Amino acid sequence: MLLRTFIILTTLFVVGSPASAGDQSQREGKDSVALMATASANPAPTATPTTASSALALHQPSGFASWPTITGTWGGTRPQLEAAGLSVSAMYRTDQMSTLSGGIESRGGSINQFDLQLAIDADAAFGVHGLSFFAHAIANNGGSVSRYVGDAQIVSNIESTRLTKLYQLWMRQSFFDDQISVLAGLYDLNAEFYVTDAAVLFLNSSFGVGKELAQTGPNGPGIFPNPALTLRLRGEFNAVYAQAALIDGHPGTADDPFTPSFSWTKEQGVLVIAEGGIVSGGEDGGARSKFAVGAWWYPPSTEMPLPNGGAYLLAEQQVLREDGGDEGLSLFTRIGFADLRLNRYRANFSGGGVYTGLIPGRDEDRLGLGVTFAQRNTLLDPADQEGLPDRSGEVSIELAYRIQLLSSISVQPDFQYVIGPACSHLVGNASVFGVRFEGHF
């Protein structure tokens, strides 16, 4: 079934699908970044609070193929709302994936997620300069593929339990022409922290936040599917940026770890994270690049009596640039380390390359090869339950090609080969093939 779907979609693409006019993000946390007026390492680092439909703000494009959203301008209503400071967008994603060999079981799974986002520019709506609001709800069917793979890094970055929830709800105030901003509310850490643009293409979760950080906290470090109450400060000075955040150390509630919580007690603890770096290039500013360093720390608390911490490095460089634009080859690497006393995975190393516009006439298509390695902490986890030494880590190799069928619709065939799932010698290396479909409304 997967192969038949891939053949049909690829045939449609070859027969005559038009080149796309935009690049849409893959990773959950990044969906909201396009609605922030920040200059982080995102596909559009200077984006203002708006949605993909802002390209339609003045007129309706001549052809459906070029519409940034499937529903267009709603007969002219959408650009009028945006001019008044209100932006509404929606996205549907589905991952149809199957374990072809190895792993726990050769079986497929279907993961489906719907996102609804609302952004308010208070400057346009109420005349309050620099203030914006953002609300984001999701519905996920709870499908899984990793249960058949047996991996720790998770082959699909939208895999979750079955849920319908308020995902993010925050307000942001900027000062000094957006050089300084303060954000408060329910927030996904990975929207701005631990981000490399090229890695966004890949579906494996470790290309979002590295496993060494993703494993921490009683219910995660405030990332998908459990954003946390956050206070974030960010400064941007030309190409240099610095940001720091205080994040609820235990997202969710005692009754349901996936329920959004707006209460924060000292017993729950806090995650402190800071990141700074240099971002340059893009548009007419030359080849894109990013070099950053980050650190995180959980101080002792009632729920986490021992302090926990780590650090990470991010590097990305566009090494080949075609026609002075975004087309070309970008390479990236990410290295993260965690406290050896407390964490099963002591480090995460990942890297790869993404070529945008490799095929003539397909300027927005992206081809990528990435590798991520989650290193097991042998000091904390020396052997399995049978007393046998496990593997030194889990390696996932991913090959992906994102086809922009229309500006609002994309399809992405994806192959992953997982070596040493969950570091266990009892689970064979797994090959996984899947297709992601994504539509923006």
CB atoms within 10 A of CB 105: 11
Cα–Cα distance, 31 to 195 (Å, whole number): 12
Beta strands 393-406 and 409-419 are antiparallel
Query: ∠347-429-369 over CA atoms, to 5°?
Result: 65
pLDDT of 9 reads 41
**pLDDT tier for residue 266 given thresholds of 50, 70 and 90:** confident
Once rounded to an integer, what is the mean pLDDT over residues 290-305?
A: 95
CB 151 within 8 A of CB 210: no
pLDDT surpassing 80 at residue 296 = yes
| Residue closest to 184 by CA, chosen among 169, 202, 174 | 169
In whole angstroms, what separates CA 439 from the centre of its chain?
Answer: 16
pLDDT of 10 reads 41
- Indicate which CATH number applies to the domain containing 324: 2.40.160.180
pLDDT of 28 reads 44
| Residue closest to 52 by CA, chosen among 437, 406, 362 | 406
CB 202 within 8 A of CB 368: yes
User: What is this structure's pTM?
Assistant: 0.85
pLDDT of 41 reads 30
Q: Which of 2-16, 323-337, 403-417 has the lowest mean pLDDT?
A: 2-16
Q: Is 423 in a helix, a strand, or coil?
A: helix
Q: Which of 153-157, 259-263, 306-310, 408-412 has the lowest mean pLDDT?
A: 259-263
Mean pLDDT of the chain: 86
CB 226 within 8 A of CB 248: no
User: Which residues, other chains included, contact 62 with Cβ-Cβ below 8 Å and sequence gap of 6+?
Assistant: none
Token pair, residue 89, equals 């967008």
Token pair, residue 119, equals 């952004």
CB 171 within 8 A of CB 184: yes
- pLDDT per position as a tens digit, 219-244: 999 999 999 999 999 999 999 999 99
Phi, psi of 99 (to 5 degrees): -80, 115
Owning domain of residue 62: 2-440
pLDDT of 153 reads 97
**Which of the 8 DSSP states describes residue 190?**
G
Which stretches does DSSP call E strand in 146-227?
163-175, 180-187
pLDDT of 254 reads 67
- pLDDT per position as a tens digit, 162-189: 999 999 999 999 999 999 999 999 999 9
pLDDT of 355 reads 98
pLDDT of 385 reads 55
In whole angstroms, what separates CA 293 from the centre of its chain?
Answer: 18
Q: Which of 3-12, 39-48, 191-200, 283-292 has the lowest mean pLDDT?
A: 39-48
| Residue closest to 258 by CA, chosen among 231, 230, 219 | 219
Number of domains in the chain: 1
User: Which residues, other chains included, contact 106 with Cβ-Cβ below 8 Å and sequence gap of 6+?
Assistant: 98, 99, 100, 148
pLDDT surpassing 70 at residue 384 = no
